Amino acid sequence: MEGKKDQQGKRMTNVFFLGLVSFFTDASTEMVYPLIPLYLTSAFGATPVLVGVIEGIAESVASLLKVFSGYISDKFQKKKLIAFTGYFTGLIYKIVLLVAGSWAGVLCARVVDRFGKGIRTAPRDVLVSESADKAAMGKAYGLHKALDMAGAALGILVTYFLLRDGFSEYKGLFLISIIPAVLGLCMFLFIRETKSERPHISRPQLWKSAKGLDGQLKLYLLVVLLFTLGNSSNAFLLLKASSIGFDDISAVLLYFIYNITASALSFPLGKLSDKVGRKALLVAGYLVFSVVYSGFAFAWNRLVFVIVFVLYGVYTAMITGVERAFVAEIAPPELKGTMLGLQSTIAGIALLPASFITGVLWNTFGSVVPFLFGAALSFIAAMILMFFMKKANTAPERAV
């Protein structure tokens, strides 16, 4: 029993260092991300539609790569190397952003950044799942997500204080953000890759492997597609904040509130999903998102907007780690990376039209309609999960 506890402790240490990689990388990324829509509109005169197209293209490129990255990770079992390559691309992103002289240059930078995310996400998620016992899968993903969001909160807070103290040079901030990105890469020195013993099998082709998937996983992938059509880029939330009176500095602080809330709740909610099952958290999370987007639609003052941003952090803590745990535990072991990547890819396929639809609805009807559209799709997604997902398949078996 003592040896088993020591082994579990070592595994969670691996999850911790994977979390630190994300902590520093997200600190770097989020020093920059909240500024992108502001930079595009103030420096290059971009419209909401153009912001939506840029973000949609960037995120879709990333997500389209995730399933292939996961498949390659499953095939060659080089998860750590592939993940490191993806994180290293974050440094290239900052360099491209520094030299960008137009909105097209910013688009190229965002594509480079999301290209790296597309490479690293699936192998990293597999590393997390292989570093956790089945009965503690939600706990492991919750810990990773908590560190990930804490890093994002730190990056945003640094940007907030720099802007508040009069540091208004965007490219100077882009340059400073390189420091935590390098620290994140250094954390790979402490990560061990688990070589799982699997029987030799004939691996099916990528798309043919989908035929034999668990029906509950197929259902959830369909729900992810539907939900994401109404879940546009966070850049629109920052634009909405500007439209009701938040200045650039205050808008950055709003994003900090969102991230710190998600960070604080991800770990306990991940552990909760180990006890009550994934379904309860997923359904509740989509319902919270529906309330959040309705709140964004009708927020009439800044206090209400702050409260809604807090609830947005609650939604993120309820969904992000839990859905990865759900996919990881019911995917075929030899296709775990592929399925984790496929889940992200499906979301990415929907993200480009989602961001474009939001931009068009915003330009045509104002900011209320696109948020109500997202709220409605999220509510429908929750109802599908509530009535069609089997509870029995959403909670892992207990280790004896």
Total count of residues recorded for the chain: 400
Q: Is 50 exposed, middle or buried (0-12, 13-18, 19+ CB in 10 A)?
A: middle
pLDDT, position 397: 40
The pLDDT value given to residue 210: 55
Percentage above 90 pLDDT, the chain: 26
Would you say residue 24 lies in a domain? Answer: yes
Q: How confident is the model at residue 400 (pLDDT cuts 50, 70, 90)?
A: very low
The structural domain count of the chain equals 1
Greatest alpha-carbon span in the chain? 64
| Better-predicted residue by pLDDT, 81 or 54 | 81
For residue 398, tell me if it sits in a domain: no
Rounded Cα distance, 123 and 386, in Å: 30
In a domain, 206, yes or no: no
φ/ψ bin of 245: left (φ > 0), alpha (ψ from -120 to 50), beta (otherwise): left
Position 262 scores a pLDDT of 93
Read off the pLDDT of residues 163-183 as tens digits, 9 standing for 90 and up: 777 666 777 888 888 999 999
Yes or no: say if 52 and 232 are a contact pair by the CB < 8 Å rule.
Answer: yes
pLDDT above 70 coverage of the chain, percent: 86
- Indicate whether 199 belongs to any domain: no
Task: Evaluate whether residue 207 is within a structural domain.
Answer: no
Q: Give residue 335's domain range.
A: 7-191+212-393
- pLDDT band at residue 339 under the 50/70/90 scheme: confident
Decide which of 28 and 159 is more confident: 28
Would 202 be classed as within a structural domain?
A: no
Residue 124 maps to a domain: yes
302 within a domain of the structure (yes/no): yes
Q: What average pLDDT is seen over the chain?
A: 81
Does 147 have pLDDT greater than 90?
yes
* CATH number of the domain enclosing 94: 1.20.1250.20
Asked if residues 85 and 119 have their Cβ atoms less than 8 Å apart, the reply is yes
Segment among 126-140, 345-359, 363-377 with least mean pLDDT? 345-359
Q: Are 308 and 296 in contact (CB under 8 A)?
A: yes
The secondary structure of residue 234, as a DSSP letter, is T
- Residue 24, phi-psi category: left (phi > 0), alpha (psi -120 to 50), beta (remainder): alpha
- Least confident piece of the model among 31-40, 63-72, 205-214: 205-214
Q: What is the DSSP string of 120-163?
A: HHHHHHHHHHTTS-GGGHHHHHHHHHHHHHHHHHHHHHHHHHHH
Lowest mean pLDDT among 40-44, 60-64, 261-265, 318-322: 60-64
* Residue (of 150, 274, 188) closest to 14 by Cα position: 188
Q: How confident is the model over 99-115, as a mean pLDDT?
A: 82
Q: Which of the given ranges, 63-67, 119-123, 229-233, 309-313, has the highest pLDDT on average?
A: 309-313
Most confident range (mean pLDDT) of 12-16, 242-246, 346-350 is 12-16
| Rounded distance between C-alpha atoms, residue 221 and residue 224, angstroms | 5
Predicted model pTM: 0.78
